[in-house]
Structure 1
Amino acid sequence: MKKKLTPYLLLLPQILLTVLFLTGLITGITQSLGVVPAFGLTEPTLAYYKEIVSRPDMVSSILYSLRISLFSAVLATVGGTFLCGLCVMEKKTRGGVMRIVQLPVIVPHVVVALFVINILSQNGILARIAYLFGLISDQQEFPLLIYDGNGVGVILAYVWKELPFIVFFTAALMANVSGSLGEAAINLGAGRWTAFFRVTLPLCRNTICSGFLIIFVFALGAYEMPFLLGATVPKALPILAYQEYTHPDLQHRPYAMALNGVIILISLACAAVYFILMEKNIKQVRKSEEV
């Protein structure tokens, strides 16, 4: 009897976490539809969703968050892919090089934000170096890279943090493909870069796209970087949702949940694409095993 209960006891922590997650998700979705009995709101409505897509400040926040997420994910994915390709072609997927690449992965996002402030702000290291060499006559002439409306500082911070993630996410598969089919292409006369672009990269495409989706969704819903490095106006979507949630007027709570609902909908769409890509990867592995 004890042996039969053991698997269920081992699963109990996961079950509890799943129940808590689903409870919070269902509560958030319910409140985003305007159903908050404690505040006297009992009728479901889509009015809050309609209002957030019609209010200029909320629309600008949504576009701002999407822009930051898209650019940071694209730059991190492209940079990480080619850095991983260089490591694979030089056969340096282990050892000192990969340990150096690993450093940004273990650094918390808040610490990365502080690094960016100390390096890229108008009182930071780069501004002081530019002033020292006479490139600018005053440190305030240094380009505004953080706290700007374009989110340049936030994007650079995400690229710094997530580029190594792409390297580790794709290194194992890329090394395996390059060491087998890539080497075969080189033995047949193809150059190393030709083998990389024509053989290795296409076979790793689904995994790379999966890494892109993970970074995109994370950057869309993250709070720390936009809060520490972002502009006052427009605000990133998670910051605006938090402000609506902590608004003194509790009638604003559904607005916060509706903003979170937008993040959830985009995340679900990315999760569906991720699932499709993983299914394709599994089918490719099965076909290669059959061959």
Structure 2
Amino acid sequence: MVTAQSLGLMPLVGRPELSTAAYTAHGGDLLVGGGLSLAIAGTSTLLACLIGFMAALIMMQGRWCGKLVAAMSSLSIPLPHIVGAAATGLLLADSGLLARVFGTAERWPPLVGGPWWAAVIFEYAWKESAFVGLVLAGTLATRSVDYEETAALLGAGRLGRLRHVLLPLSLPALMTSGTIAFIYSFGSYEVAWLLGRPYPEPLPVMALRLYNSVTLTSRPEAAAVAVVTAAVSLCAVLMALAFLRKIPLWR
């Protein structure tokens, strides 16, 4: 239905006519928005996977710090991203908590609404790292103990066990959870809408703006942006599946 509307086959006004005008009406902004969305989602997903992997290793230790990290991760999962975005804005804005604590409001970098979209990336990385960490901890808890003990008996050090045991065992779960985090970061609009710049717009923010426009002809353009977003997400899933099929543990 959305694809048909983007191609002019289900117009709100006028006669149906096959056309790609909705895709070319904002061609330049569509490309810029797509690149921006990929940069935000890719950077935040890489950070989430790195932080989540380290958090999972801490959870696997079974000590009080691991239990604390697990509890904090579990508490952050149910929080909606809109709440996380509001908390991030109150924390990182030039009039926020950190700027007041350090007394550097005038010299505080533009993290919220700045050119590097730092607050948006921080919020996605924070929220999704908790998800990645819990998934990896659950995976490693059922697989890694025997292998790690065997590697230790054979003389492998900590770095050796990390490289040859923990990382290969966690790779399928890391790839799967990272793909989920990427798709969500790429397709959600609320965090970028609250913490980002007015221009350029990520694809979800552009789709929402066009959909809510008073001009009825903008509805096919919003549908076109949504179709592009869905197509990129589908490509990410297919690439992840192709990569997973090459991992022996997945097979």
1:241 partner amino acid: A
Matches within 5 A, 1:86-101: 86-88=58-60, 90-92=61-63, 95-101=67-73
Of 41-50 and 175-184, the range deviating more from structure 2: 41-50
Which of 108, 120, 132 matches 1:154?
A: 120
Q: Assess if the C-alpha contact under 8 Å between 2:5 and 2:11 holds in 1.
A: no
CA distance in 1, matches of 2:19, 2:131: 41
Q: Are 1:31 and 2:5 an aligned pair?
A: yes
Q: Assess if the C-alpha contact under 8 Å between 1:117 and 1:229 holds in 2.
A: yes
Q: Are 1:78 and 2:43 an aligned pair?
A: no
Residue in 2 that maps onto 1:214: 180
Which of 16, 23, 40 matches 1:49?
A: 23
CA distance in 1, matches of 2:188, 2:77: 16
Change (3 A) 1:182 1:129: same
**Which segments of 5 or more consecutive residues in structure 2 lack a partner in the other structure?**
none
Change (3 A) 1:38 1:144: closer
Q: Equivalent pairs: percent with the same residue?
A: 30
Residue in 2 that maps onto 1:262: 228
Q: Residues 185-243 of structure 1: CA distance to partner in whole angstroms, max 9, x if unpaired?
A: 01111112310111120122122111111111101111110111111111221111111
Q: Secondary structure at the match of 2:249?
A: helix
* Cα offset, 1:266, TM superposition: 0.9
* Cα offset, 1:280, TM superposition: 6.1
CA distance in 1, matches of 2:36, 2:159: 36
> Counting helix residues as a fraction of each chain, which structure ranks higher?
1
CA distance in 2, matches of 1:235, 1:285: 37
> Larger Cα Rg: Structure 1 or Structure 2?
1
CA distance in 2, matches of 1:251, 1:114: 33
Q: Residues 72-115 of structure 1: CA distance to partner in whole angstroms, max 9, x if unpaired?
A: 00100111112212322x13598444112212112221111111
* Cα offset, 1:166, TM superposition: 0.4
1:45 partner amino acid: S
CA distance in 2, matches of 1:81, 1:177: 15
**Which segments of 5 or more consecutive residues in structure 1 lack a partner in the other structure?**
1-26, 287-291
Q: Are 1:195 and 2:161 an aligned pair?
A: yes
Q: Secondary structure at the match of 1:39?
A: coil
Q: Assess if the C-alpha contact under 8 Å between 1:245 and 1:253 holds in 2.
A: yes
Change (3 A) 1:261 1:169: same
Change (3 A) 1:150 1:95: closer
* Cα offset, 1:50, TM superposition: 3.5
Q: Which is bigger in relative contact order (C-alpha 8 A, separation at least 6)?
A: 2
Aligned length: 250
Q: Assess if the C-alpha contact under 8 Å between 1:206 and 1:277 holds in 2.
A: no
Q: Are 1:103 and 2:68 an aligned pair?
A: no
Q: Are 1:69 and 2:41 an aligned pair?
A: yes
Q: RMSD of aligned C-alpha atoms? A: 2.1
Q: Secondary structure at the match of 1:204?
A: helix
TM-score, length basis structure 2: 0.91
